[in-house]
Amino acid sequence: MPFVPPTAEQLGMYLGLPEIDGDRADLLLEQAVALCESVVRPLPDQATAVVLSVAGRAYVNPQQVSYETIGPMSVQRPSGSGGLYLTKSDKAALKSLAGRGGAFTIDPTPKTADPSPTYPVDDAYGSGLSYEPGWGWI
């Protein structure tokens, strides 16, 4: 099933806003999808959460305000908390959702590999002992 981008209404619900500017929200969602596709293409179905997060940050704090005082109340936001960008966690989530995250191992041993030595066995060596392929003279 192909990725279906979230709607402006879904962004409003995500942010908990009763009203949302539809044109602005649509623009931010389109740009968030394009930004996410720079990491993973095509986007997986579950990437909606990342797209909403990216667009939501830009919708709420477009000027990247980090400190604001209004009357007796002041708010300080972490730097880089506004605008349209992907965090390291966003990129990791996209890669994980696409099945590209996590550790893995590659076994370079061919299926036809034999544990016995590849060098010639000296029958005169180890007289009185028996030769066990893979273990040597025992």
pLDDT digits (tens, 9 = 90+) for 67-98: 677 888 877 766 655 568 888 998 988 888 88
**What pLDDT, in 10s, does the model give residues 107-132?**
898 888 887 766 776 666 666 777 78
Residue 137 contacts residue 125 (beta carbons within 8 Å): yes
Tokens coding 25: 């929200």
**What pLDDT, in 10s, does the model give residues 21-61?**
889 999 999 999 999 999 998 999 889 999 999 999 888 87
Beta strands in the chain, from DSSP E residues, in sequence order: 67-70, 73-76, 131-132, 136-137
Q: Rounded to whole angstroms, how far apart are CA atoms 15 and 54?
A: 12
56, with CB counted inside 10 A (0-12, 13-18, 19+), is buried
pLDDT at 102 over 70: no
Nearest-Å Rg of the Cα atoms of the chain is 29
Give the start-to-end residue ranges of the domains of the chain. 8-67+76-97
